[in-house]
Structure 1
Amino acid sequence: MTSEYSAHHLQVLEGLEAVRKRPGMYIGSNGSPGLMHCLWEIIDNSVDEAVAGNGSRIDVVLFEDGSVQVADRGRGVPVDVEPRTGLTGVEVVYTKLHAGGKFGGGSYAASGGLHGVGASVVNALSERLDVEVDRGGKTYAMSFRRGEPGIFTDDGDPRPDAPFSPFSQRSELRVIGKVAKGVSGTRVRYWADRQIFTKDAAFQLGELENRARQTAFLVPGLEMFVRDERPSTRAGAQSGAEDAENGPVETSYRYDGGIAEFVEYLASDAPITDTWRLQGSGSFSENVPVLQPDGHMKTTEVQRDCQVDIALRWGTGYETTMRSFVNIIATPKGGTHQQGFEQELLKTLRTHVEQNSRRLKVGNDKLEKDDVLAGLTVVLNVTVPEPQFEGQTKEVLGTPAVRTVVSKVVRQELAQRFTSTKRDDKNQASMLLDKIVSEMKARVSARAHKETQRRKNALESSSLPVKLVDCRSNDVAQSELFIVEGDSALGTAKNARTSEYQALLPIRGKILNVQKASISDMLSNVECASIIQVIGAGSGRSFDLSSARYGKVILMSDADVDGAHIRTLLLTLFFRYMRPLIEDGRVFAAVPPLHRVIVINPGSKPNETIYTYSEQELHTLLAKLRKQNKRWHEPIQRYKGLGEMDADQLATTTMDRGGRLLRRVRMEDAEAAGRVFELLMGNEVAPRREFIIESSDQLSREAIDA
């Protein structure tokens, strides 16, 4: 560090040096997200070709050596010489920043690649990159090492550490084969540079499959094929994928239904409306620099056409699932298109609620954005030439005029839905307004309740259900709430519990199936309302995990079919309305024993009591006792309910921290869990019937209590 600072201290980074010096500016980070972003850049180039009508399949292969290849059947990267640079099109695309065919030259009407830096950035950050182009009956090839063109001597076994000879005077685009007439496409294989990326950076198969599936939804008719040859992935392959003995993991995605099918895939709750398709277009003008034939840039006013395609549906849940895209590129942080959609959606629905205010009994309350978005699943895609993004990662759309175009389309299309004379449209519009208003009323009630609680005197306490047997401790982390099935089990549990930190709440029989019921029905149900009130953290969007009164919530039901059903109903309530409790790992299922075996010991030695928790465990125990020539009391006690145990037995086996067994309810994948709950507890009977029939052979008839 020196105090001197003059012009010779300044650095000018030429070409791809800037990318290698500051990779985060172009790909976000040098970890796994940045590595995946490089792959997106190459895939997006192929997708742009498919969107332009060139090619209907893209193959992505993750090789065992850490490299990845993307192959398409588009027009192929140009192989002729670009006049200003004197370089072939392949070398220009992969070595020159801000070079490409997507700056308004007419090659693409609209594309995701806009800045002309994607392919060249990937090349700069790769230890080796190979490009093969099928075009004009020939296959052309060129290789690069960290962005520099040259030739690898690898004897047909491509690897990044093979001897490399850079071109000394003029680069060469080699012809390495022939292809049939009319066959075209591009194959790019590269090895990420470990000098740039962290050691733990790796291609994530799950992310790649999600992106491939998403792209297939957005481009109807496009097949996305993914193949993973890495041994580590094969060893951990999911059921349905190929294992290590059968070969690599392969998946293929193709959807002809477009974003309407995408919405059906994303939505996990029961529908209130059908999937509505809102489509339209609009134009706007903007001043942009346009490249003139003489090579100079001139600011010109140009007309832009913006295509809007939206698919949406409302369901019975309160979660919002929104996916927004610009030219097939995901914009996870939104932008002007998403702002226009949300603003106009709220404005339109406010108008229709006000028009039906007497029927809906809304009073002076006004809808807010969260009321409208609750239970909404939407896919929003706009197609616009040369959109403005905030940064190379393209997470936010910045083109201001798109907001107005999207708002206009939403306003016109929703107006047609709400003014339609068709019976189905009328019914769906009416149910939608009912749902939105109920969300608003729930929000207003929750806010009023919270304000009331704040105003309460510190000496006052809220009235809890009479049947709650509370604990003495105020330490939330140590306290436990047992939700017990039936009053008979409650009586035993009262004597078995540790009253210092264990509370009991009995429920009567089977609670409401909240997967089918509305929010108002759930709140009016005595058992559901008691559980929510006792836990004390609210429900739905107003749920506040920090306000929960207990550190553990333990579901304690009988070890029979009805007990399992009650436990499923309770888990449905927690999943739908108190999900943060499950996500935080604070919901458990007690595991009471099924059998009590009293082993007879000889002489004056006291008999031994052993509990088993499954039929298999019982048979194993009895076989072991026979082998040891030990006898046991007959008949063996089979517990069908918690009330059959005395307090000591229940404490020892199920409630005492020293010897009990608890199953933590986890939610690794919320969307998968939602689909399972909808299958088991939802309105659709046919899928549930098929599931029962297909799974019936896994159930032992002897296990059913008749």
Structure 2
Amino acid sequence: MSGEGKRYDASDIEVLEGLTAVRKRAGMYVGSTGERGLHELVFAVVSEAVNDVLTQGAGRVDVTLMADGGVRVTDDAPAPPFEAPAAGDIGGPGLEPRLATLYAGAGPGDRNSVYVGAFSLGLVVATALSSRLTAEVRREGVRRAQEYARGVALAPPAAVGSATGTGKTITFWPDTEIFETARCSFAVLAERFRQVAFLNRGLEISLTDERPNGQARLERFRYSDGVRDFVAALDAEAGGSLHPDVIGFQREDPRMAGTMEIALHWGGRDAEGVRGFANGRLTREGGTHVDGFRDGVTAAVTAYARERGLPAATDTGSIADRIGRGLTAVVSVKLDRPEYLGPIRGLLGNTEVRVCVAEAVHHHLGAWFEEHPERAEAVVGEIVRTPV
């Protein structure tokens, strides 16, 4: 290709300042300008609320799909001030920087961070990609609010009345100049909020639909037994239950700089259902946490079968191929430094996680086998005798 007559210099470079870049390239920040991107916009706001709530160990987040097309997200977390803290003060950024500055999210970026969506840019994407956004803080007996229009603050934060309790409310209207649709799927949001509640015991999330031409709905999600409840629900939905016990445990391991929470159950189905999560994200392609889980189950089943002289007990490879028959499991790890392979973060790559998870599963499952010999005999016997 000839460059004759054509020159490229600094005058051809377009510099996008502030939130203009987010508005002009919305797909880069929420994945698409279709329904999937719209849901990511909601997830970004809910992520901030969930992370703020979990700083106190538990709490509540209420999400409402409003009749006029807006989305309201309210939490009861210790409310941040609007302004950034003074130099030397402890705590994260104030609410105003989180609304108006890229990469100023509330999450610390470690095992204590929960990611509801695939992206993690925080409230600022909602500020940029909404035709209108209002933020309200209830703090120290006062309600303060601020309003934005397409990424621009209309006025500084101001007191608007008295308040009881604490928390914040973010209400936003997705910009129809950017998104192909402004109507969220209740089912998609509800399924993801349900997962987040399972993965963070003590957290309560509600979803209310007030929109016209639809069924008025309210669903609440809160699970005291965490991923054990998750596995029980998945197994019930699949119509299984040969052995009613759900085996579950939690463990911290400094070698992987994080924690794991794992639950599993063998039911009466042929299909396998193992789901992996890393810092709340569903890892659709699996990764080292799921590989470690399979290693640990194989080791525990093999050891038990060999001790009792069960058929095929010497063929570890064959047992590894069989353990998934009728198995439902959730493998959730929360890491200070999660490493993902690929741009969509669907595959966890931390190498140390595999060994840590495998050892923990082998230990806890082996102990369960010893404590429940009759049920262990039924489970392991079925595995070693089932044709591959």
TM-score grouping bracket, smaller chain normalisation: 0.7 to 0.9
Structure 2 residue aligned with 1:150: 154
**1:306-455 alignment, distance < 5 Å:** 306-356=258-308, 358-361=309-312, 366-367=317-318, 369-389=320-340, 394-418=345-369, 420=370, 422=371, 425-439=372-386, 441=387, 443=388
Instruction: Name the SS for the 1:411 alignment partner.
Output: helix
Structure 2 residue aligned with 1:118: 122
RMSD: 2.8
1:60 is displaced (CA, Å) by 0.8
- Cα distance in structure 1, aligned partners of 2:260 and 2:200: 14
Query: Quick one: structure 1 residues 329 and 192, their matched pair in 2 at CA, closer, same or farther if it must change by over 3 Å?
Result: same
1:341 is displaced (CA, Å) by 1.6
Query: Quick one: structure 1 residues 95 and 397, their matched pair in 2 at CA, closer, same or farther if it must change by over 3 Å?
Result: farther
Match of 2:96 among 91, 95, 98: 91
Instruction: Name the SS for the 1:77 alignment partner.
Output: coil
Task: Return the letter of the residue paired with 1:410.
Answer: V
Query: Quick one: structure 1 residues 101 and 207, their matched pair in 2 at CA, closer, same or farther if it must change by over 3 Å?
Result: closer
1:415 is displaced (CA, Å) by 2.6
Structure 2 residue aligned with 1:140: 144
Task: Return the letter of the residue paired with 1:177.
Answer: G
Task: Return the letter of the residue paired with 1:99.
Answer: A
Contact 2:48/2:106, CA 8 A, preserved across alignment:
no
- Cα distance in structure 2, aligned partners of 1:13 and 1:368: 57
Structure 2 residue aligned with 1:231: 212
Instruction: Name the SS for the 2:132 alignment partner.
Output: strand
Q: What are structure 1's unaligned runs of at least 5 residues?
A: 152-171, 235-247, 285-303, 444-706
Match of 1:219 among 200, 220, 226: 200
Cα deviations by residue, 1:490-540 (Å, 9 ceiling, x for unpaired): xxxxxxxxxxxxxxxxxxxxxxxxxxxxxxxxxxxxxxxxxxxxxxxxxxx
Query: Quick one: structure 1 residues 19 and 392, their matched pair in 2 at CA, closer, same or farther if it must change by over 3 Å?
Result: farther
Structure 1 residue aligned with 2:27: 24
- Cα distance in structure 2, aligned partners of 1:391 and 1:83: 38
Structure 2 residue aligned with 1:177: 161
Match of 1:259 among 227, 231, 243: 227
Structure 2 residue aligned with 1:47: 50
Greater Rg over alpha carbons, structure: 1
Contact 1:81/1:89, CA 8 A, preserved across alignment:
yes
Cα deviations by residue, 1:171-204 (Å, 9 ceiling, x for unpaired): x111111113xx21010111111122114x5311
1:131 is displaced (CA, Å) by 0.7
**1:265-664 alignment, distance < 5 Å:** 265-267=233-235, 268-272=239-243, 274-284=245-255, 305-356=257-308, 358-361=309-312, 366-367=317-318, 369-389=320-340, 394-418=345-369, 420=370, 422=371, 425-439=372-386, 441=387, 443=388
Cα deviations by residue, 1:98-136 (Å, 9 ceiling, x for unpaired): 1134347xxx86112598622112221111111111112
Instruction: Name the SS for the 2:22 alignment partner.
Output: helix
- Cα distance in structure 1, aligned partners of 2:264 and 2:180: 40
When structure 1 is superposed on structure 2, of 217-226 and 204-213 the one drifting more is 217-226
Task: Return the letter of the residue paired with 2:166.
Answer: S
Contact 1:99/1:116, CA 8 A, preserved across alignment:
no
Contact 2:51/2:107, CA 8 A, preserved across alignment:
no
Query: Quick one: structure 1 residues 273 and 117, their matched pair in 2 at CA, closer, same or farther if it must change by over 3 Å?
Result: same
Structure 2 residue aligned with 1:659: none
**1:661-672 alignment, distance < 5 Å:** none
Query: Quick one: structure 1 residues 364 and 340, their matched pair in 2 at CA, closer, same or farther if it must change by over 3 Å?
Result: closer
Query: Quick one: structure 1 residues 24 and 399, their matched pair in 2 at CA, closer, same or farther if it must change by over 3 Å?
Result: farther
Match of 1:7 among 10, 14, 17: 10
The TM-score with structure 1 as length reference comes to 0.49
1:209 is displaced (CA, Å) by 1.9
Task: Return the letter of the residue paired with 1:413.
Answer: H
1:149 is displaced (CA, Å) by 1.0
- Cα distance in structure 1, aligned partners of 2:18 and 2:106: 19
Structure 2 residue aligned with 1:504: none
Structure 2 residue aligned with 1:35: 38
Contact 1:102/1:111, CA 8 A, preserved across alignment:
yes
1:281 is displaced (CA, Å) by 1.5
Task: Return the letter of the residue paired with 2:240.
Answer: D
Match of 1:193 among 175, 195, 198: 175
Structure 2 residue aligned with 1:205: 186
Identity %, equivalent residues: 31
Task: Return the letter of the residue paired with 1:381.
Answer: S
Query: Quick one: structure 1 residues 259 and 25, their matched pair in 2 at CA, closer, same or farther if it must change by over 3 Å?
Result: same
Contact 2:105/2:122, CA 8 A, preserved across alignment:
no
Cα deviations by residue, 1:20-53 (Å, 9 ceiling, x for unpaired): 2332232222211111111112112222233222
When structure 1 is superposed on structure 2, of 272-281 and 126-135 the one drifting more is 272-281
Task: Return the letter of the residue paired with 1:142.
Answer: Q
- Cα distance in structure 1, aligned partners of 2:31 and 2:320: 31
Task: Return the letter of the residue paired with 2:135.
Answer: V
Structure 2 residue aligned with 1:588: none
Task: Return the letter of the residue paired with 1:76.
Answer: A
Instruction: Name the SS for the 1:318 alignment partner.
Output: coil
Query: Quick one: structure 1 residues 330 and 186, their matched pair in 2 at CA, closer, same or farther if it must change by over 3 Å?
Result: farther
Contact 2:319/2:384, CA 8 A, preserved across alignment:
no
1:333 is displaced (CA, Å) by 3.3
Query: Quick one: structure 1 residues 372 and 25, their matched pair in 2 at CA, closer, same or farther if it must change by over 3 Å?
Result: farther
Contact 1:346/1:368, CA 8 A, preserved across alignment:
yes
Higher relative contact order (CA 8 A, sep 6+): 2
Query: Quick one: structure 1 residues 229 and 346, their matched pair in 2 at CA, closer, same or farther if it must change by over 3 Å?
Result: same
Q: What are structure 2's unaligned runs of at least 5 residues?
A: 88-92
Contact 1:128/1:143, CA 8 A, preserved across alignment:
yes
Query: Quick one: structure 1 residues 54 and 146, their matched pair in 2 at CA, closer, same or farther if it must change by over 3 Å?
Result: farther
Contact 1:55/1:72, CA 8 A, preserved across alignment:
no
